[in-house]
């Protein structure tokens, strides 16, 4: 099974070597670091560690993930992972197990690493981020029937499923687009507990008020927007 790991980065020189070193080489076919205008040597470090570096000068977390997805070389499964060493790459087997274990194609099409169900270390997740994630997850459970607790960045999906979903969000909303479209299309979204540590370096989202409010707005509005769009589409179909 070919597994492509995509890591969006922006000034992660303090952490990226540790992230890449901890990826299980026996499970990883290729590693793509999608770098957005780093000026601290992040892409150079990643390249020395054996990653394929793709430059994406346009802003947006979702855009970086989509750029990496487009650059992946014929994967069976695609993994998305942040470059700040808050999630542990060594836990990749936990994330992949529901997709690759069991008969046929496993028991999941998309897996999400839950930071709220696993071991979370002090200072790893600010209280407002915990609250926002619980709120968004509760809304998804209520409107879409997907039993999740968190919208963590450490996630994996079958490549054919990701292509079928036609993902397009370029902002923070990308974190939920995969879940919402997957649920609406009838794909199996499964959550697994992962550990979570304080990130190395300052967060570009939760570390600032603007980033926190912006992420919350995109995520919550997208959840509601997709729900009503789906309802309108269903109502417009002939009986």
31-47 residue pLDDT tens: 999 999 999 999 999 99
Q: Which pLDDT score is estimated for 200? A: 81
Cα(80)–Cα(96) distance, integer angstroms: 12
Q: Which pLDDT score is estimated for 75? A: 96
Number of domains the chain is built from: 1
Cβ(23)–Cβ(98) below 8 Å:
no
Residue 174 lies in a domain: yes
Query: How, if at all, do strands 3-9 and 77-80 pair?
Result: parallel
Q: Which pLDDT score is estimated for 202? A: 65
Cα(127)–Cα(84) distance, integer angstroms: 19
Q: Mean pLDDT per 10-residue run, the chain (239 residues)?
A: 96 96 96 96 96 94 95 96 95 95 75 89 76 89 93 94 93 88 94 90 59 75 86 62
Cβ(207)–Cβ(131) below 8 Å:
no
Query: How, if at all, do strands 30-35 and 110-114 pair?
Result: unpaired
Q: Which pLDDT score is estimated for 105? A: 61
Q: Which pLDDT score is estimated for 86? A: 93
Radius of gyration of the chain (CA): 17
Q: How far is CA 231 from CA 225, 235, 236, in A?
A: 10, 6, 9
Please give the DSSP secondary-structure letter assigned to residue 91.
G
Q: Which pLDDT score is estimated for 217? A: 77
Residue 239 lies in a domain: no
Q: Which pLDDT score is estimated for 213? A: 72
User: What's the CATH number where 189 sits?
Assistant: 3.90.550.10
pTM (2 d.p.): 0.89
22-33 confidence digits (pLDDT tens): 999 999 999 999
Give the tokens for residue 10: 């922006």
Residue 162 lies in a domain: yes
Residue 230 lies in a domain: yes
Residue 113 lies in a domain: yes
Residue 107 lies in a domain: yes
Cα(131)–Cα(126) distance, integer angstroms: 9
Cβ(40)–Cβ(149) below 8 Å:
no
Cα(214)–Cα(209) distance, integer angstroms: 8
In 3D space, the residue among 171, 181, 112 whose CA is nearest the CA of residue 144 turns out to be: 181
Q: Which domain holds residue 132?
A: 3-234
How many CB atoms neighbour CB 217 within 10 A? 13
Residue 229 lies in a domain: yes
């Amino acid at each position: 099974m070919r597994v492509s790991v995509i890591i969006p980065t922006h000034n992660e020189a303090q952490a990226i070597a540790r992230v890449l070193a901890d990826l299980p080489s026996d499970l990883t076919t290729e590693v793509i670091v999608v770098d957005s205008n780093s000026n601290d040597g992040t892409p150079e470090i990643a390249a020395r560690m054996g990653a394929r570096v793709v430059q994406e000068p346009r802003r947006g977390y979702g855009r970086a993930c989509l750029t990496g997805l487009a650059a992946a070389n014929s994967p069976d499964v695609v993994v998305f992972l942040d470059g700040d060493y808050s999630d542990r790459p060594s836990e990749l087997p936990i994330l992949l197990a529901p997709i690759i274990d069991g008969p046929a194609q496993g028991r999941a099409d998309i897996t999400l690493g839950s930071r709220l169900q696993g071991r979370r270390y002090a200072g790893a997740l600010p209280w407002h981020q915990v609250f926002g994630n619980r709120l968004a997850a509760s809304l998804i459970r209520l409107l879409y029937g997907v039993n999740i607790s968190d919208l963590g960045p450490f996630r994996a999906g079958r490549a054919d499923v990701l292509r079928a979903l036609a993902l397009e969000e370029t902002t923070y909303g990308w974190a939920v687009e995969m879940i919402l479209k997957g649920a609406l299309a009838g794909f199996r979204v499964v959550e697994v507990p992962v550990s979570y540590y304080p990130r190395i370096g300052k967060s570009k989202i939760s570390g600032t008020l603007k980033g926190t409010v912006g992420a919350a707005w995109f995520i919550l509005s997208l959840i509601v927007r997709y729900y009503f769009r789906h309802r309108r589409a269903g109502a417009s179909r002939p009986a």
